[in-house]
Chains A and B, each alone.
Chain A
């Protein structure tokens, strides 16, 4: 499928900022089933952009802007060709072995409730069957919402509330999968939903490492494995490590951030 993406972030500040430094993880890389045709990062003012590759193989960009800054718009536009690989991740850069992704983080800890679900079905057949069962169980256990119900999409809080945004649902699955012995990681990316081509958040899901198959994506918020509707952008132990934008500004006051994401078979208009 040919997918067009536009990820627009608009910041406005209640008072002018002296400087802005941001780490952007907004650029997808090629792998089997995902071929980036074109990709641009545009800033509506003088800015210095520097590419950076992190230890996970993510393509990141450093953004430096001098003030005074009262508002900025950051546009990421691109075109990607995708194929349905039933969620299997093949040919992606994998600097780290799967066992690295067995460790938990503050956002992906498993409490007794998550552990119970992780170990509920131990005689459920192959690793692949168990992973699917786990993902389905978590997808069904949660009430899926477009925006976060817990600060930082914390797995334990989301599972206790039985409600989560995509990031939170991915964290619950990651926590449960690691408790069940699967290496698991967070994936930040985009999804094409014909019913919601325009939305206000980037997407996120989980990948589990299954012996004999490799890394396989599971999207608990959509209750399925990624298809050719999905674009993988960045990975990490949790959402925080793969976050599209992390930044620090110099200057007081408040900020307002609006994000508009377009993912569809046609480019965004306007």
Chain B
């Protein structure tokens, strides 16, 4: 059995909050359960009204659901955050260095650090774009790096999401809701604001414009309103003050990208695209697809437009490559990885496969190319039949799977039907890389497994979200409030 989980507020004591969080313990004691429940329902009603919905893949009547919101915030101390962000900067720099290398000289392969077959034989490696040089050398402008925690100083990277990570709108909307519904929390704690994120993202986009000049035209490219993350696409375009476009709004002429507007064509410099590689240009990738912008890759290869993130970044967050990340970080930074990986068994290797098959009831088994919690076995909670199903699948196609120990994920007090109780969480901060380096807005998306004992936090599998407060070391900091435009002073 796994040892009891570390609770981020109460430590392992179970009843007394850690010193830094005494004020939260007091807030939980003072605020009646019905009041917490009322505020949580008010937040969810607001989200529903805003239309922050998502669709669960494979669920028949999934069209309009909101991700459940939990009113009890999660808190990181300033020291914890400083340490975390150093690790995130190091990791993200390594991801970009790795991408420059594998689409360029491939020194890391020549030096025998990562097996050639794992990179070049990987469908996420885009051979047709070999030699690509994105503007300013940035491939992964936005990474949503998933972290889990098992103790006061024990953080692990679970996944490096370097394609089109979503969820940042929840970071912003959750804070908005907390400021409105629980303003007293922001009097008790000095919290770093997150509402600078749209500005920081816009600056990142502008910084990678291939042309010089002061006013690059940046757009958000969405597949359309039927996409499960459409709310976020429109939210980000809106808060950044840039156009939201669909593929049909763009055209490529003479290797230059133009946006059609009622006032004529406008040249586009930077595209924050929330469309997968396969569907951005039907001339180059899926030829049978009618989606995408024909000629977009030609414009990109000609150096006339920046694609954010660059095509082909999937090779860096592939689950098979993930297990090499500690070596990759060390190779490019010359230092040990500040943020460790979760121990990972690569089932393509015979001894790892044997270990996995012998310990299925203790392990988490994942499809190398799966996401969203699909194609995943959580051994300790799985039914016998499901374990046998995975055993057969592993024997048939071992190279498609990795296995990891079941971690005792940290818990955070969460409002449940039985009152406030510990629930397991993970954390996705959003790391921005522009031409001038890496920038992280102090915050992120906390996902919480609402079912008692559950370790699966994915929204598609019954997870919820929480606000994530990063404590400031600057007392009396001003906390601006996004939409109302009001300012709130503290201290």
Query: Is B64 in the interface zone, CB < 8 Å from A?
Result: no
- Contact partners of B116 in chain A: CB under 8 A: 97, 99
A-B contact pairs, 16 of them (CB 8 A): A19-B251, A50-B298, A55-B127, A55-B131, A55-B132, A62-B255, A64-B254, A96-B127, A97-B106, A99-B117, A99-B121, A102-B121, A236-B128, A240-B287, A248-B283, A248-B294
Known: A55-B128, A103-B121. A62 touches B287 (CB 8 A): no
Query: Is A231 in the interface zone, CB < 8 Å from B?
Result: no
Binding site for A on B (CB under 8 A): 106, 116-117, 120-123, 125-132, 251-255, 282-284, 287, 294-295, 298, 301-302
Assuming A56-B130, A64-B253, what are 8 further A-B pairs, CB within 8 angstroms? A48-B253, A53-B301, A55-B129, A62-B295, A96-B130, A97-B106, A236-B128, A240-B287
Q: Is the CB of A21 within 8 A of B129?
A: no
- Contact partners of B121 in chain A: CB under 8 A: 99-100, 102-103
Contact with B along A233-262 (1 / 0, CB 8 A): 000110011010011100000000000000
- Tell me the smallest distance from the CB of A227 to a CB of chain B, in Å: 28
- Contact partners of B283 in chain A: CB under 8 A: 21-23, 246-248
- List the B residue with the shortest CB-CB distance to A249: B294
Binding site for B on A (CB under 8 A): 19, 21-23, 48, 50, 52-56, 62, 64, 95-97, 99-100, 102-103, 236-237, 240-241, 243, 246-248
- Contact partners of A48 in chain B: CB under 8 A: 253-254
- Contact partners of A102 in chain B: CB under 8 A: 117, 121
Known: A21-B252, A62-B295, A103-B121. A95 touches B301 (CB 8 A): no
Q: Is the CB of A50 within 8 A of B254?
A: yes
B298's contact among A23, A236, A240, by CB below 8 Å, is which?
A23
Q: Is the CB of B130 within 8 A of A95?
A: yes
Q: Is the CB of A95 within 8 A of B131?
A: yes
- List the B residue with the shortest CB-CB distance to A240: B287
- Tell me the smallest distance from the CB of B318 to a CB of chain A, in Å: 13
Distance of A96 Cα from B130 Cα, bound (Å): 8
- Contact partners of A100 in chain B: CB under 8 A: 120-121, 125, 127
Known: A21-B294, A23-B283. A64 touches B252 (CB 8 A): yes
Distance of A246 Cα from B282 Cα, bound (Å): 9
- Contact partners of A240 in chain B: CB under 8 A: 287
Known: A95-B130, A100-B127. A23 touches B284 (CB 8 A): yes
- List the A residue with the shortest CB-CB distance to B103: A55
Q: Is the CB of A64 within 8 A of B295?
A: yes
- Tell me the smallest distance from the CB of A97 to a CB of chain B, in Å: 6
- Tell me the smallest distance from the CB of B281 to a CB of chain A, in Å: 9
- Tell me the smallest distance from the CB of B110 to a CB of chain A, in Å: 10
- Tell me the smallest distance from the CB of A93 to a CB of chain B, in Å: 10
Distance of A243 Cα from B287 Cα, bound (Å): 10
- Tell me the smallest distance from the CB of B81 to a CB of chain A, in Å: 40
Known: A21-B294, A56-B130, A62-B295. A50 touches B255 (CB 8 A): yes
B282's contact among A50, A99, A236, A248, by CB below 8 Å, is which?
A248
